[in-house]
Amino acid sequence: MKRALVLYHSLYGNTKSVAEHLARGLEEAGLMVACLSIDDVDLAAIPDYSLVAIGSPTHMIRPSKDMREFLKRLRFLDLSGLAGFSFDTRTESRMNRRGFSFLENSAARVIEGTMKRLKMTIIRPRASALVQGTEGPLASEESENFRMIGREIGALLAV
Ligand SMILES: Cc1cc2nc3c(=O)[nH]c(=O)nc-3n(C[C@H](O)[C@H](O)[C@H](O)COP(=O)(O)O)c2cc1C
């Protein structure tokens, strides 16, 4: 059975909830899944998984500080060829607060860029979940959406 790792950072619990729904979808697709906070993961074990999904809240159009520090630590691992998927939560649409659209308002954009630099294989393009205000809750359709994304990725991995 293939193993998947879903990692998240979450201040108010919304990104954690998205991670858990993603994990549930992956499980429904037949994978063995660990869903962990970045504070609890054993870095050395990451290369043992078939898939690593990483999610962060969007803070000032990029990942949270804790997530940015975690991403730096991944440089010391050989993750080339490992399947990767990135996701985030955010309150606003693709445009950032000043209305500029040249830099996407998305933590997942940065996480996906890190995955590419580490030569991971992006198994599915990044995805975002909208929250209704800084502390949430998640917009109503997002939980089910991420469960579906989990199933979709699980099916891709099975091929
Ligand atoms: C310091 C800070 C900066 C934020 N900056 C942005 C931002 O640039 N764009 C945005 O859409 N949401 C922004 N938000 C809202 C967060 O994206 C939202 O709090 C987060 O998605 C909730 O996830 P969590 O419950 O996992 O922490 C910001 C929130 C905080 C606390």
Tell me the angle at which helices 14-28 and 142-158 cross, rounded to the nearest 10 degrees: 40
> Global pTM?
0.96
> What is the pLDDT, as a whole number, of residue 104?
83
Nearest CA to ligand 1 atom 19: 134
> Hey, what domains does the chain have and what are their CATH numbers?
3-158 (3.40.50.360)
32-42: pLDDT as tens digits: 999 999 999 99
- Strand partners of residue 3: 32
Distance 144 CA to ligand 1 centre (A): 21
DSSP one-letter code for 47: G
Distance 58 CA to ligand 1 centre (A): 5
Pocket of ligand 1 (CB under 6 A): 10-15, 57-61, 89-92, 105, 131, 134, 136
98-111: pLDDT as tens digits: 665 567 889 999 99
Amino acid at 125: P
CA distance 139 to 44: 35
76-127: pLDDT as tens digits: 999 999 999 999 999 987 665 666 556 788 999 999 999 999 999 999 999 9
What is the CB neighbour count within 10 angstroms for residue 34? 14
Owner of token pair 């991944």: 74
